[in-house]
Structure 1
Amino acid sequence: MNKILTLINGKFKDSVSVLDRGLAYGDGFFETMQWFGKNNESLQGVEFWNRHFRRIIKSAKILKIKIPNKNIFAEYKKKILTVAQKKKIYEGILKIIITRGVGGRGYSYESNMKPTIIFIVFPNATSKRIESVNVKFCKSAISDNADISGLKHLNRLDSVRARSELKNKKIFEGIFTDNNENILEGTMTNIFFVKNKSLVTPSIKSSGINGIMREVILVYGKKFFTEIVIR
């Protein structure tokens, strides 16, 4: 844990105001991505960065959070990954948290608020290739709200409650279902099924996360399957 790096609004620090709306109300969103960089600044990279940034723009628009342009995000990204490499961290997870910013009491907010933009670098945990996993259907329900479906907003209580059901460490993932017992997604994953030559995945029209890997699989899956089914 001592190798975690945090950059907040372009400065290396690890705390935010107690009045930050992300802390008080979950008023914000986040992105999580894989990054890599050998001992060479020119080799820095983030998997699917452009896709992640497009989703950042979309999420900010949905929540009406004013964010800086892409160049500022690129500057922050380069700044934190360069320091990570100097600390001999060459790959890991990059998490970006964006909140509406610091405000007073109450749910209403000013239209010109300065957002809080947090970059966090986590070094990769030791892992091994997984051929199969154990899963469990969760009793906890997932929120149904078409207005923010697909958005990685900061209120993750559905997943927190569901993960608390997984007491057995051999269970890798918990599965959410809707009121009709239709499978929706995992607590931290999207779900796909292969049926004959078709690739099937649940709809996230009213609930769930539109993961970047889900997006990528739906695009490139057309090369390997005769049919892509979302239902």
Structure 2
Amino acid sequence: MAVVLLNGVAVETIAVTDRALHYGDGLFETVRISGGSVCWLPSHCQRLWRGFERLQLPLASFDLAMDELRQLAEQLGDGIIKLIISRGSGGRGYALPVPPQPQRILLTRPLPDYPLSRPARLFCCQTRLGQQPLLAGLKHLNRLEQILARSEWGDEYDEGVVCDQRGAVAEGVMSNLFWVNHGQLQSHPLHDCGVHGVMRQQVLTYIEQQQWPFSWSSQISMAQLAQMEEIFICNVAMGVWPVGEIGGRAMRLGPFGAALRDLWS
């Protein structure tokens, strides 16, 4: 049974004046729980802390949220916890409330049932990500771009690929994206759009440790992506998922995605 906590207390409702409902004013983290522990907790903490600083949220709420996350993880055992930080109610229009009253919301859910035994099938989305360096990398509550992109495909595909405003492949709708170009691993740097995923960070760290060839690229079009030697996607729920098809075109499976998949299977 799902658990919903508001500021550490089990609830079924939230105030209709909350700024998360009115403006998407807040942050969230989707956290994988295994054996009662938070997977990759330092990476989640780093990204959430950056979000607190960027959105000017009271840092005292950060520590409370982390304590509640650890406690709920112990109770859950295995699954997913979604942590939402809202600025709370108050303020006139877009003006920040003084003092702010952040709300901490935690929701439990089972792990998604991804068909990871087969390669992923990707759809090429028409929706493009807006450019906003102030919000790039963060998991803020404004997800309309992803909602519009997800509306473009049905159950025949597992994930969609989105481009930045220049037409360069940026990431997946729900995941980050890597590809192999002439033997070199590449990914979009996401300086002005997209999400710096926690699984993406684990992959980048492992690539550096193994001294695999890697470079950032913000110049690969959707058509060029389909010509790459290998593609894989990643997030904390799926781990690493090699891609076998993009836009109806079959893709070869390669050694990098397979090795990373097995590492975090």
Q: Same fold (TM over 0.5)?
A: yes
> Which of the numbers 134, 138, 146 marks the counterpart of 1:159?
146
Secondary structure class of the residue paired with 1:31 = strand
Pairwise CA RMSD: 1.8
Give aligned-pair identity as a percent.
29
Cross-structure match for 2:56: 64
Secondary structure class of the residue paired with 1:75 = helix
Q: Distance in 2 between matches of 1:26 and 1:203?
A: 25
Calculate the TM-score normalised by the size of structure 2.
0.76
Contact preservation (8 Å) 2:51, 2:138: yes
Letter in 1 for 2:136: S
Cross-structure match for 1:55: 47
Distance change in 2, residues 1:204/1:78 (3 Å): closer
Deviates more, 1:27-36 or 1:122-131: 122-131
Distance change in 2, residues 1:223/1:15 (3 Å): same
Secondary structure class of the residue paired with 1:213 = helix
Residue ranges of structure 1 left out of the alignment (5+ in a row): 38-43, 85-89
Q: Distance in 1 between matches of 2:90 and 2:65?
A: 23
Secondary structure class of the residue paired with 2:97 = coil
Letter in 1 for 2:55: L
Post-superposition shift, 1:51?
A: 1.4
Cross-structure match for 2:12: 14
Cross-structure match for 2:192: 206
Cross-structure match for 2:201: 215
**What whole-Å deviation, never above 9, does each CA across 1:157-191 have from its counterpart, x for those lacking one?**
00000000012x12011111134321011100110
Distance change in 2, residues 1:70/1:103 (3 Å): closer
> Which of the numbers 158, 167, 171 marks the counterpart of 2:157?
171
Secondary structure class of the residue paired with 2:21 = helix
Residue 194 in 1 paired to residue 186 in 2? no
Contact preservation (8 Å) 2:31, 2:82: yes
Residue ranges of structure 2 left out of the alignment (5+ in a row): 218-265
Off by >3 Å, runs of 4+ in structure 1 = 81-84, 125-128
Post-superposition shift, 1:119?
A: 1.0
Q: List aligned pairs for 1:1-231, cutoff 5 A.
A: 3-37=1-35, 44-68=36-60, 71-84=63-76, 90-167=77-154, 169-231=155-217
Contact preservation (8 Å) 2:79, 2:108: yes
Q: Distance in 1 between matches of 2:122 and 2:112?
A: 21
